[in-house]
Chains A and B, each alone.
Chain A
C-alpha cells in the first residue's frame, strides 16, 4: 500500500495504450498527481480521456510503460489485488449506473455490502454520505423517481461511501444541464476539500474555466498541455 511519505498517488511513466485493433489511444504519457489534487483531463472526443481513466481503474492494462496508483502497479499487480485497488478508488460515470430495482439507500449500501462491511457501519456511513450529497430525505426513492442530477448524486454517494483516497469521474456532468452540473461540481469541491484526490475527465469548457484547477489536455493520445491552474484552453 501507499507509504505516508509518498505524495504522488498516481504516476504514469512512458505509458502507451494500443487496442487490439491497432487504435492508439494513449502515446507516451508521463504525469504524476499528488495526494489531494483536483485534476481535469480534457480533450476532444476520441482524444483518449476514457482510456486514461480505464487505466487507473485497471479495466485495461498499459501496452507499454508503468502506471502506479495508490501504491499498486497496474501492469504487474496480482489479480487478487484488483478488488483492493478498486476499494481505494471511487468511480463515477456519465450514465450514473444505478441499480433500478434498488432504492437510493440500497444502491449506496450495495457498495459496502459487497465488500462485506459490518451492518452497523453501513447504516452510519450511508446516512452520512447521503447528507454530503443532500439526498437524506430521498433515501427510499427508486432511481426512476429521481432527476438526472439527483441520480448522479446517488452515484457520487456510492463512490465515496467506502472512503476512497481517489475519486475518478468520466464525464460526470455529460448528461446534465449547466445548473445541475454546478451542483455536482460543488459536491466534488467539498469532497476534495476534505482531502480526497479527484481526477475528472470532461468536455465541459465552462466548468474547467471556472474551477481554476490543474488541467491535463490530451490530443490524439498525447499530453499537449499540463497546467497547475488552467482553463479549457481552446474553443470546441
Chain B
C-alpha cells in the first residue's frame, strides 16, 4: 500500500468516527465492557487453575489424631506410618506448635484468634510426606483406618472441588462471553453500516472510476479495527487497574494466598484482550462490508 493511500484511509476513518460519534462511542463502550468481562473470566479461571495445580503437586498428608490417645499409641502410629510404602518423611506437629504456625500465617490478623479465648481447637497431628502426588489418595485411605487417627487430609481433596468450580466458571463465562461478543459484533457492524450508507455516493463513483474492491473496503475494515482496538485497550487498562487493586487487597488480608503475580500475567492478558478487540472489530466490519457494500 502506498504512503499516500494509507494517509487517505486514515483520514477517511477519522472522518467517519467523527461523523458517527454516538455510534462510535457505543461501539467502543460495548467492546470495552465485553472484553473487560472476558478478561475477568480469564483471570479468575487462570487463578483457579493455578491454585488447583499448586495443590495437586503437593505430596503432604495431614494426619490428625484423636484427642484422647496415649503417648504409646502415638508412637505406634508413627512407626506404622514410617512403614507404609511411598512414605518419605513423618513429622510430628503438636497442637501447640500448630497454633503457633497458624498465628504466624495470619500475620497482622493475629487478633482474630482472640475470639478463641486462648483455647486451642487444633489437634495433634503428623505431617506425612509421600514420594509422589499419585499415591496421596490411596495412602490417605489406608492411614485413616489406623487406630487413633481421626482423619487424613490432603490438598487433592480440595482440588476435585476446585476443578468443578473452575468448570462451572468456565461454562458461565463462555456463555456470557458468546452473548457479549454477539452484541458487540452487532453494534460494530451497525456502526460500519452507517458509514457505508453515508458514503454510498462516493462508493458508487469509486466503482465507476475503477477503484479496486479492496481499496473500497479498506477504510471500513480499518474503522472496525480501530473501534475494536480502542475498546480493547480501554478494557486492558481497566483490567490492569482492577487486578492490581484486588491483589493488593487480597495480599493485605491473606499474605499466603496463591495469586498469579501481576508480571508478566497482566501483559499476556492485555495482549489477549487487545487482539480480541481487533478481531471483533474486523469481524463486525467484514459482516457489514459483505452485506451492504456489494463490492
Contacts and interface: CB of A to CB of B under 8 A. Distances in A.
Interface of A: 57, 79-80, 83-87, 91, 97, 99, 110-111, 113-116, 118-119, 158, 162
Contacts of A83: 207, 210-213
Nearest to B2: A116
A165 B4 CA distance: 27
B8 A113 contact: yes
B4 A115 contact: no
Contacts of B210: 83-87, 114-115, 162
Contacts of B216: 114
Nearest to B1: A116
25 contacts: A79-B213, A83-B213, A84-B210, A86-B207, A86-B208, A86-B209, A91-B208, A97-B201, A97-B205, A97-B208, A99-B201, A99-B205, A110-B209, A113-B4, A113-B8, A114-B206, A114-B210, A114-B216, A115-B211, A115-B215, A116-B4, A116-B215, A118-B4, A119-B4, A162-B209
A90 to B, nearest CB: 8
Say whether chain B's binding surface is mostly helix, strand, loop, or mixed. Answer: helix
Contacts of A113: 4, 8
A86 to B, nearest CB: 4
A77 to B, nearest CB: 13
A56 B206 CA distance: 17
Contacts of A116: 2, 4-5, 215
B208 A57 contact: yes
Q: Which 6 A-B pairs have the closest CB atoms?
A: A87-B210, A86-B210, A114-B211, A111-B209, A83-B210, A83-B212
A79 B5 CA distance: 22
Nearest to A122: B4
A114 B215 contact: yes
A175 to B, nearest CB: 17
A87 B8 CA distance: 20
A115 B8 CA distance: 12
